[in-house]
Structure 1
Amino acid sequence: MKALLILIGGLAMAFAISLDTNDKYAKMEMDMATDIEADIEADIEINSNNNMTATPLEDIDLEYVHKECFPWGIHEYCYFPHTSVSWGDAETICQRWGGHLVSINSKHERDYLHKRLYRRPDYWIGFVDNSGTNTGYQWTDGSGGFTFWHGGQPDLRGQQMCGRVWAHHGTWDNLQCWHGQRVLCKQFLRI
């Protein structure tokens, strides 16, 4: 990714040197190259620091928000790739959609989701510890039993009480609930 940035930066610089300063169209093209470079840098920052700023729920038009849905067994999952919200707002989005934040109840289900979302940003799961003890995690849909914590997780008892998946590893950690993360919902298939 850094090599791509260097290449784009080099191309933009070479393009700027050859510009006639009075050519407004050439300047517009240079601005576009700079915007692309800034977008790539932002993507690198998001991917290296998945604790994004949460967008307030009232700023999201749920009727038109982009989502990618896919079935598995008797369930359907919907991933909201461009929506970064707090854990509570993520659960609200899923309930409005007709489900809950995803519960992962077997290694088989975990493996399926990991293959499907491996190259995506991290996302909230419906695992929450309302007791603040790091031992009281429960699924919002009432299912449960299976866990796939990353080594040393959960940590920071009483501070980080909401579960997320590190999409690249497929393992879980706990995070402060106000952080912004992507949303993965799960519901029963409608027949």
Structure 2
Amino acid sequence: MNHRGRVSPGTSALPEERGCSRLNPWVFFVSVLVIKTAFVTICLAVLLHGSYGQYKTLLQNATEWHCVPSESADKQEGWMCCPKGWRRFQEKCYYLSDDKMSWAESEQNCTGMGSHLVVINSKAEQEFLFNWAKEVFTNAYETKYYIGLTAYENGQWQWVDQTPYEKAAMFWKPGEPNLLFAEKCAAIHVKGKRDSNTYRNWNNVLCFTNCYRICELAVKFV
């Protein structure tokens, strides 16, 4: 009876040793997971800093992105991303404001988001922007959106990205631009549902006029 009731030191140590052996793999797994997470975080920080440095201001202001699979034939498989609240067309992202500013304030606002007032280069881009603007303000009698075209510095029309004015597509309304001595900033002019003229609706206005604005930036490939 004494022999059965006695527990040798070797026997009592065995369960304790087994308990430690069950714990060690979990400790190892958690440690590896923490190290991996830290490594991935550091890599992402380096990637964002190195690849998207020119969009630093935008990254500070836009906390979320909307991405779709890349459609570009000359790019590897990946994603095309625009900031949340912007709309993508081809390889550009566009923002239509819901408040009004002067032309100079509008350009400053776009620059503050890492972009610039839109530069329109094709009929397809013009149609996209016109239809979107008309969709947003369907019930307004008329609406104007500033674009990145102005003549207020030297009297010659210039795009904000230095695209030559003479070589770019132009979509002025009939009779526009006029009154060039005073109206030196360009805007897309929309008249709600009644306006069907997609391609000829630019108007020149006084640069201190408060209008909506369209900002533009290139999509981010990731």
Q: TM-score range by the shorter chain?
A: 0.5 to 0.7
Pick from 180, 185, 188 the counterpart of residue 218 of structure 2: 188
Q: Please name the residue that 2:144 is paired with.
A: 122
TM-score (normalised: structure 2): 0.52
CA distance in 1, matches of 2:87, 2:220: 13
RMSD: 1.8
How far apart are the structure 1 equivalents of 2:216 and 2:148? 9
Match of 2:187 in 1: 164
Determine the structure 1 residue equivalent to 2:36: none
Instruction: Report SS of the residue matched to 1:163.
Output: strand
- Percent same amino acid at aligned positions? 27
Q: For 2:159, which of 123, 139, 149 is the aligned residue? A: 139
Could you report, residue by residue, the CA deviation over 1:47-100 in whole angstroms, capped at 9, with x for unpaired residues? xxxxxxxxxxxxxxxx69xx941011111001112x110000000011111111
Q: Is the 8 A contact 2:130 2:188 kept in 1?
A: no
CA contact (8 A) 2:118 2:216 kept: yes
**Partner in structure 2 of residue 94 of structure 1:** 110
CA deviations 1:101-139 (Å, max 9, x no partner) are: 01111111101111111143321000101322xxx2111
Q: More helix per residue: 1 or 2? A: 2
The one-letter amino acid of 1:97's match is M
Report the Cα distance in structure 2 between the residues aligned to 1:96 and 1:188, rounded to whole angstroms: 15
Q: TM-score, normalised by structure 1?
A: 0.60
Counterpart of 1:109 in structure 2 is 125
Deviation at 1:160, TM superposition (A): 0.5
- The 8 Å contact of residues 68 and 80 in structure 1, kept in 2 or not, is answered as no
State the 1:141 CA deviation: 1.5
In structure 2, runs of 5+ residues without a counterpart are 1-60, 63-83, 138-142
The separation in 1 between residues aligned to 2:131 and 2:209, in whole angstroms, is 25
Of structures 1 and 2, the larger Rg is shown by 2
